[in-house]
Structure 1
Amino acid sequence: MSNAPTSEVLLRQIERFQGRVLLAGLPADALLGDLPQARGWSWHAGDARQLEGRYPDRCHFGATPPEGPFDAAVLFLPKSRELTDYLLAALANCVPDGELYLVGEKRAGVERASKQLGEFGRASKLDSARHCQLWHTHIDGAPAAPDLHALAQRYELPLADGPLQVVTLPGVFSHGRLDRGSALLLEHLDKLPTGHLLDFGCGAGVLGATLKRRYPQSQLTLLDVDAFAVESSRLTLAANGLEGEVIAGDGIDAAPENLAAIVSNPPFHQGVHTSYAATEHLLRQSARHLASGGELRLVANSFLKYPPLIEQHLGPCRTLAEADGFRIYSARR
């Protein structure tokens, strides 16, 4: 298996990473095989599952780091600036009097993020190759561990049945605000089949919480690939006194079966790249997870050609609404 460019840049300095190293946000490649004493920390359920399958007991999944101590830590630059702040602080706490590294693609903004690294000590660039950069600083002492929940943003949504409290953590889609697609879908959640409902790609849990309030007798599951989204959804449900099962999983394959409805503002970003693979897989596989008569209802950018895919794999596709460059699609099994 070939390594990601960021991993290759690390391996050019392999002597630095021989000890107990924590690799945070690492790609699902062979890097752990090259660094036998290293440990992975991933908040992407798919990457974590792949790494755990290849390197058992060596990759931790979650929104907080594994127990240390570590001699050094490496952050593979995430997309969100606020998430980078949290992760650097968490890693600095994991390596008291140790080394902290930052690696990322130039086009993802690694040079800008090196200034965030510089808040923990003098940052220096060690290498530049494969369109990536590797930065380093030494951690003096043991900075306090950041309180993840204290970094949450809260806002209130005025809904017809009363205000809904939304709690979002750094790095979660639409952190601190409601996106236009979800806002449109929230207006079109009536007449769903009753039974087991799934909020697919739940993010901060806005759709799931709204569904549980509107259909209180229904069983609710919320699913996301991202550990920070899973934690945000749990916080949102708790803030509104609502119950639901929140699970981490990579795509619709991780979802329960025999669902009455799948409701989604599906994800289409993977790192700095745009990817529609998870949504297209959802459209192909949703029939396997829906009960007979079960409904798929989702919002999507109107330029995306989803109806033919929905009709091919599920059934006749109706457009329930269109506004602000988005459409609401519905199809029943």
Structure 2
Amino acid sequence: MDPRSEVLLRQAELFEGELLLAGLPADDLLGTLPQACGWNWHAGDQALLAARFAGRSHFGTRMPEGHYHAAVLFLPKSRELTDYLLQALASCLAGKPLYLVGEKRGGIERASKQLAAYGKPRKLDSARHCQLWCVEVNQAPPVPDLHALAQCYPLQLSDGALEIVTLPGVFAHGRLDRGSALLLEHLHDLPSGHLLDFGCGAGVLGAALKRRYPDSELSLLDVDAFALESSRLTLARNGLTANLIAGSGIESAPEGLSAIVSNPPFHQGVHTDYQASENLLTQAAHHLGKGGELRLVANSFLKYPPLIERHLGPCRTLAEAEGFRIYSARR
């Protein structure tokens, strides 16, 4: 059981009845709280929950409809995303309790101050290196407009300008990160066919690929619903089309790809997790057609070339700058 769930269950009498668990972990909490339902934006957690508790957890960027007597938000990493989620939950909880639970190392005490917009926050429990806070929603705010919270920035490329749209909680919200900036300079001479932007985030690489290779089919894959919505907005803003795939890793990708392009993720919440990136390197060959190419950017200190060569083929370093390297290998 996740330690945050354990803290909730220390106060189990508070969580009887119709309850919404937002951002819940993929553990047995729904089994312990039979009248609760979940709202998740992590495709991996959602798949696990759906397999065990069919129909009781909903995936997406918007709160599922329902008549809830209370809601619990499992603290996400982003402060801006926390603001959106708290407002979305509070909008349907006038006179009802809204709970916030999270790890101390994740900044739960700081985040608890965000509850003050809806009433007087109270700390109910502290255990398992986590804290549980509560506020009675004095006056429900309006339902937030997620798209109104989007940040846009222009991206000048050699073949024209793009406009990138990012939503709260998405990697590099409102800016271009250094790794993607380097990879954008090295997208030439990819094999034609079906291209995949793995870990697409706001769709920076995907939009650039579709602009450069307009006749190629393009898919964008990410674990996060807010990232996929950002990518959808970015593509629409630039008049581009692609397939959007919600998946926990490369195993969710199509087969027979001509190229996989990626600035792979390595964070899960407040923790560093390289599993998705390492799975990409070890399983890319199963999703690439013959002659297909894996091209990615990674921190220079990560020992990726031996892993790439063991599972795919000879690995070339195409560029190195500012602590990042561009790697390429063909099946």
Aligned counterparts, 1:66-105, within 5 A: 66-105=64-103
**Correspondence for 2:55:** 57
Q: SS at the partner of 2:99?
A: strand
Query: How far apart, CA to CA, are the structure 2 residues paired with 1:241 and 1:234?
Result: 11
Residues 65-94 of structure 1, C-alpha deviation per residue, up to 9 Å, x if partnerless? 100111100000000000000000001013
Residues 210-264 of structure 1, C-alpha deviation per residue, up to 9 Å, x if partnerless? 0000000000000000000000000000000001011110000000000000000
**Correspondence for 1:113:** 111
Q: 2:155 aligns with which of 157, 169, 179?
A: 157
Q: 1:186 aligns with which of 180, 184, 187?
A: 184
Scaled by the length of structure 2, the TM-score of the pair is: 0.99
Aligned counterparts, 1:178-327, within 5 A: 178-327=176-325
Q: SS at the partner of 1:87?
A: helix
Q: SS at the partner of 1:26?
A: coil
Deviation, 1:162, is 1.6
Q: SS at the partner of 2:164?
A: strand
Query: How far apart, CA to CA, are the structure 2 residues paired with 1:94 and 1:165?
Result: 34
Report the count of equivalent residues: 331
1:143 maps to 2:137: no
Q: Kindly, what percent of the aligned residue pairs are identical?
A: 74
Unaligned 5+ runs, structure 1: none
Deviation, 1:96, is 2.7
Q: 1:129 aligns with which of 115, 127, 130?
A: 127
Deviation, 1:97, is 2.2
Unaligned 5+ runs, structure 2: none
- Asked if the contact 2:118/2:140 (under 8 Å) is kept, the reply is no
Query: How far apart, CA to CA, are the structure 1 residues paired with 2:271 and 2:135?
Result: 28
Query: How far apart, CA to CA, are the structure 2 residues paired with 1:182 and 1:293?
Result: 24
Residues 19-60 of structure 1, C-alpha deviation per residue, up to 9 Å, x if partnerless? 111000111000000100000111000000100110110000
Q: 4+ runs of 1 displaced by more than 4 Å? A: none
Deviation, 1:159, is 1.0
Q: 1:4 aligns with which of 2, 5, 10?
A: 2
RMSD: 0.6
Q: SS at the partner of 1:247?
A: strand
Query: How far apart, CA to CA, are the structure 2 residues paired with 1:145 and 1:69?
Result: 15
Residues 76-126 of structure 1, C-alpha deviation per residue, up to 9 Å, x if partnerless? 000000000000000101323211000001111000001001111110000
Q: 1:45 aligns with which of 43, 46, 50?
A: 43
**Correspondence for 1:25:** 23
Query: How far apart, CA to CA, are the structure 2 residues paired with 1:332 and 1:313?
Result: 11
- Asked if the contact 2:198/2:263 (under 8 Å) is kept, the reply is yes
Q: Which residue identity is paired with 2:186?
A: H
Scaled by the length of structure 1, the TM-score of the pair is: 0.99
Q: SS at the partner of 1:331?
A: strand
